[in-house]
């Protein structure tokens, strides 16, 4: 793989490799472990991505923040002994392509399927993620079915966003959708969503664009091939139980995740592909 003028390979103090992007339109960091983006900063603006100040970037451990890739299931599996949010977050992806033009920097990574335990994923498939970096970030996760039978999966691009004050933050654009919270529902979402307690809502029938309104500015979050999304903030008590997460960091973050969950699970027929996309930008 050839790197471009704006992309280099660097390592954290703990030894994890990442692609460092220092381009004319933005800067970014994408770790090979988990294909996890942990920074996207358009020129002249703030980082649109949040990472815990307690993150230690250890091998075999998902980063607390950024955009973890939850695959091939989201949340807790029906077998509770299986890892939460699947296996892709902790495996080492391969950098396949880096292209730089006047318009964008495009980086593509793939997950070597030889690393995936067949107990968890017995299907013949290919999994790739593409990062399209300009003044906005576009992340596309593509599943391709290389076998002779259809398979079904749930997945999410588990994006962490920053805010200086969660209690002064709202999410607009979920009105008209339905949600399940803590296993109960579905309920109708009629209002703009605010934060005053632990939030763990799984939305279906959601519009393709939401706006996160924070005291530092508004973030537009779009989705393609997805009518489901997840809104999460651990609040006070759960924050104390989370690894690599300071007790008070719930005040400075939220997750709004493009997903294929519940009735929106992805079904991929033989020889076909499914691409889940999220697009993020300051507005």
Indicate which CATH number applies to the domain containing 90. 2.70.98.10
Pick 208 or 1 by higher pLDDT: 208
Sign of torsion, CA 130 133 137 138? Answer: negative
Domains held by the chain: number: 1
Catalytic residues: 158, 257
Instruction: Provide mean pLDDT across the span 257-268.
Output: 97
pTM above 0.85, yes or no: yes
Q: Is residue 12 part of a domain?
A: yes
pLDDT for res 23: 96
Tens of pLDDT, residue by residue over 139-157, are 999 999 999 999 999 999 9
Beta pairing, strands 105-110 & 253-260:
unpaired
Q: Using only the alpha carbons of the chain, give its radius of gyration.
A: 18
Instruction: Provide mean pLDDT across the span 22-46.
Output: 98
Domain of residue 211 covers 7-282
Instruction: Provide mean pLDDT across the span 48-74.
Output: 96
Q: Is residue 2 part of a domain?
A: no
pLDDT for res 241: 94
Instruction: Provide mean pLDDT across the span 105-129.
Output: 98
Q: Is residue 42 part of a domain?
A: yes
CA-to-CA separations, 151 to 125, 148, 168, in angstroms, rounded? 9, 10, 42
Instruction: Provide mean pLDDT across the span 119-124.
Output: 97
CA–CA–CA angle 77, 80, 82 (5° rounding): 70
pLDDT for res 256: 98
Instruction: Provide mean pLDDT across the span 196-206.
Output: 97
pLDDT for res 121: 98
* 4: pLDDT strictly greater than 90: no
Q: Is residue 233 part of a domain?
A: yes
């Amino acid at each position: 793989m050839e790197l471009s003028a704006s992309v280099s390979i660097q390592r954290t103090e703990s030894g994890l490799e990442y692609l460092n992007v220092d381009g004319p339109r933005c800067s970014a960091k994408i770790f090979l472990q988990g294909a996890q983006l942990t920074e996207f900063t358009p020129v002249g603006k703030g980082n649109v991505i949040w990472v815990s100040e307690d993150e230690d970037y250890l091998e075999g451990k998902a980063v607390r923040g950024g955009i973890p890739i939850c695959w091939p299931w989201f949340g807790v599996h029906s077998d509770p002994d299986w890892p939460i949010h699947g296996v892709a977050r902790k495996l080492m992806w391969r950098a396949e392509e880096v292209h730089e033009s006047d318009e964008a920097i495009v980086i593509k990574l793939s997950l070597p399927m030889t690393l995936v335990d067949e107990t968890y994923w017995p299907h013949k498939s290919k999994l790739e993620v593409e990062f399209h970096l300009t003044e906005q970030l576009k992340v596309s996760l593509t599943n391709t079915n290389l076998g002779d039978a259809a398979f079904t999966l749930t997945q999410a691009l588990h994006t962490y966003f920053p805010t200086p004050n969660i209690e002064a933050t709202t999410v607009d654009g979920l009105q008209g959708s339905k949600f399940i919270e803590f296993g109960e529902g579905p309920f109708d979402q009629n209002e703009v969503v605010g934060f005053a307690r632990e939030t763990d809502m799984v939305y279906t029938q959601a519009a393709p664009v939401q706006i996160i309104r924070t005291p530092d500015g508004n973030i537009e979050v779009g989705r393609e091939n997805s009518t489901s999304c997840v809104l999460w903030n651990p609040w006070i008590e759960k924050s104390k139980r989370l690894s690599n997460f300071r007790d008070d960091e719930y005040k400075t973050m939220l997750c709004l995740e493009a997903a294929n969950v519940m009735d929106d699970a992805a079904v991929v027929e033989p020889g076909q592909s499914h691409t889940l996309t999220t697009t993020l930008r300051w507005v």
